[in-house]
Amino acid sequence: MSNIENTIDRIQELIETNADEQLRDELNAFHEADIADIFQQLSAEERLACFLKLDEEKAADVIEYLPAQLQVEILGDIDETLASRLISKLPHDEAADVLGEMEEDESQTYLDKLPEKFSSEIRELLTYNEDTAGGIMTPVVLTVSYTMSVKDALDTIRIKAEKENMELYYVYAVDKHNHLLGVVSLRTLLTSPVNLSISEIMSRDIVKVQVDDYQGHIADIFMKYQFNALPVVDLYNHLKGIVTWDDVQDIVEEETTDEIFTSSGIVTDLGDDDDDLLTGSLAHAIKARVPWLFITLIGEFFAVSITNRYDHTFTALPVIAAFMPLLAGLGGNIGTQSITLMVRGMSTGQVSLQDGWHHIMRETVTGVSIGFIFGLLVTLVTWGWQHNLQLGVIVGIAMSLNMTIATIIGTCTPLILKKLKIDPAVASGPVIATTIDVVGLAVYLTLVTWYLIKL
């Protein structure tokens, strides 16, 4: 599918001309991930028309790849019996996610229609907080008894894996009470002598997570140890499920989005269900954006009141006011660069508190160097434009000081927040930008007033 736009055009043409058979053939020939991509570009009606043309297995696979809102939309639009049948073909964690997105009474209807075992497993999954291991894990795990021989274990796997749609990365060794005792990779199992006992080849040094561990923590463990799957246990070490790397991929994307939004002064944890800022309710989107803007408002009124003390300066030499956006703009930009480098460095682990001083020194040198270059440029341009060398020099010095200070504030603040155990991204963008504005303007106005007005 090299060109999705052509594909969409083609599909829409087939729908319009009622070329049913051809539509069915062409759609079913695509990979389910491609069909999901196509669906996202169609109207709701076109989507439904196409969905009903899919073979049932393919339809269930496509559901898996769709974003939550489209899953709910399509399942709501089709016949209820077909919808239940499709849901029962999804992996447990996906089925729970889909049902979790629906209204309470709607999901109850489906749960009542699903096969009993599947339904009760899903009901259990739905009891966990969706941001914890319990909420993202799949409860179907490939287990063998730790007393089995390798040969028996392989036979067990053959039967179990065929019967249930389960992920096959590791085999977990449990006792008869389902306590997690060890883990064997499929590779070890396949390459071990068949008469050995599982307890002889299993690794007992198991990295595992608790059902109520938060997803950020789980992602960190995956990133650090680079596993394909992690077992999830309860307080008593009963094996409850596994979290696989594709679940983690979604978490990482979500956490990255949170980090980026937080840095831009968008609140991401309103604790609302309707947490999608691009498609959710407008009231929610506004609530997420107002808090830091409000704090900026307070900060900037502070800047206004400082600036207002220099009214005699503006009256005497109004060009002074004209330079304020230049200073604020460049200070803000270089400060943002420093903040971004620090916050991202902390989140990838490249910057730690231990080497904080090193980074502060390094950024200061960078700030002084760039400040010097831009100070000089500003001096020259201002001199050429206003034919006033003294003004040029003062504005240039203010610019260079301003950029240096902005770099230092931008570097130190995230480190200080981290030290205080506050998420450095939280207060980064708007607060630092405002601080830089206030400090930069104060330095500039003091300098110009002192040297140009008073002298």
Stretch that binds its own copies, among 20-28, 115-123, 336-344, 447-455 (CB under 8 A): 336-344
Which are the contacts of 152, defined by CB distance < 8 A and separation ≥ 6?
Answer: 144
Please identify which residue in 433, 439, 448, 452 interacts with its own copies, judged by CB under 8 A. Answer: 433
Q: What is the layout of strands, in order, in the sheet containing 229-233? A: 209-210, 229-233, 239-244
Position 349 contacts its own copies (CB under 8 A): yes
Report 375-414 residues binding its own copies (CB under 8 A): 377-378, 381
d(CA 67, CA 246): 15
Q: DSSP for 337-383, please give it.
A: HHHHHHHHHHHHTS--GGGHHHHHHHHHHHHHHHHHHHHHHHHHHHH
| C-alpha distances in Å from residue 68, one per residue of 65, 71, 95, 171, 245 | 9, 5, 11, 31, 19
- 369 Cβ neighbours under 8 A, 6+ residues apart: none
Task: Name which of residues 167 to 186 contact its own copies (CB under 8 A).
Answer: 168, 185-186
CA dist., res. 239 & res. 227, Å (int):
17
Q: Write down the least CB distance from residue 253 to its own copies, Å.
A: 6
The three-class DSSP label of residue 165 is coil
Smaller CB separation from its own copies, 149 or 340: 340
303 interacts with its own copies by CB under 8 A: yes
Q: Which of residues 26-65 bind its own copies (CB under 8 A)?
A: 31, 33, 37, 40-41
Please identify which residue in 136, 201, 209, 351 interacts with its own copies, judged by CB under 8 A. Answer: 351
Bridging pattern class, strands 229-233 and 239-244: antiparallel
Q: Write the DSSP symbol of residue 132.
A: B
Stretch that binds its own copies, among 71-79, 144-152, 176-184, 258-266 (CB under 8 A): 258-266
Q: Which amino acid is at 372?
A: F
Separation in Å, CA 421 to CA 67, 417, 426: 34, 6, 11
Token pair recorded at residue 432:
């630092």
Number of residues located near its own copies, criterion CB under 8 A: 107
Q: Least distance (Å) from its own copies to the CB of residue 40? A: 7
Sole binder of its own copies in the list 179, 181, 345, 388 (CB under 8 A): 345
Q: Which residues contact 448 (CB under 8 A, 6 or more apart)?
A: 313, 317, 320, 394, 395, 398
Q: CB under 8 A: which stretch of 19-27, 51-59, 89-97, 155-163 binds its own copies?
A: 155-163
Helix, strand, coil in percent for the chain, rounding step 5: 70, 10, 25
**Binding its own copies by CB under 8 A: which of 118, 131, 196, 245?**
245
Distance between CA 450 and CA 446 in Å, rounded?
A: 6
User: Does the footprint of its own copies cover residue 7 (CB under 8 A)?
Assistant: no
195 belongs to the binding site for its own copies (CB under 8 A): no
Residue 362 as a binder of its own copies (CB under 8 A): the answer is yes
Residue with Cβ nearer its own copies (83 or 141) = 141
| Binding residue for its own copies, selected from 348, 420, 421, 454, defined by CB under 8 A | 348
109 binds its own copies (CB under 8 A): no
Tell the smallest beta-carbon distance from residue 69 to its own copies (Å).
10
- Binding flag, residue 203, its own copies (CB under 8 A): no
148 near its own copies, rule: CB under 8 A: no
Question: Minimum distance between the CB of residue 193 and its own copies, rounded to whole angstroms?
Answer: 10
**Packing angle, helices 92-101 and 80-89, rounded to 10:** 140
Q: Nearer to its own copies by C-beta: 80 or 304?
A: 304
Sole window of 87-95, 111-119, 173-181, 220-228 interacting with its own copies (rule: CB under 8 A): 220-228
